[in-house]
Amino acid sequence: MFPLTSVIMASSTIVTTFFCVDLQIADVVNAALDEFFPLTMGVSVIAEPGRFYVASAYTLATLVHSKRDTMYYINDGVYGSFNCILYDHAVVNPIPLVNKPGKLQESSVWGPTCDGLDQVVTSVMLPSLDVGDWLVFEDMGAYTLPVASTFNGFPVPKVHAVISEDLWNSLKNLLPLTEDHFTLQNNNWESIWDMPSPPLSSSPPSPSSYMYELIA
- The residues annotated with a catalytic role in the active site are 114
Phi/psi region, residue 152 (left: phi>0; alpha: psi -120 to 50; beta: rest), is left
What is the Cα 214 distance to its own chain's centre?
A: 11
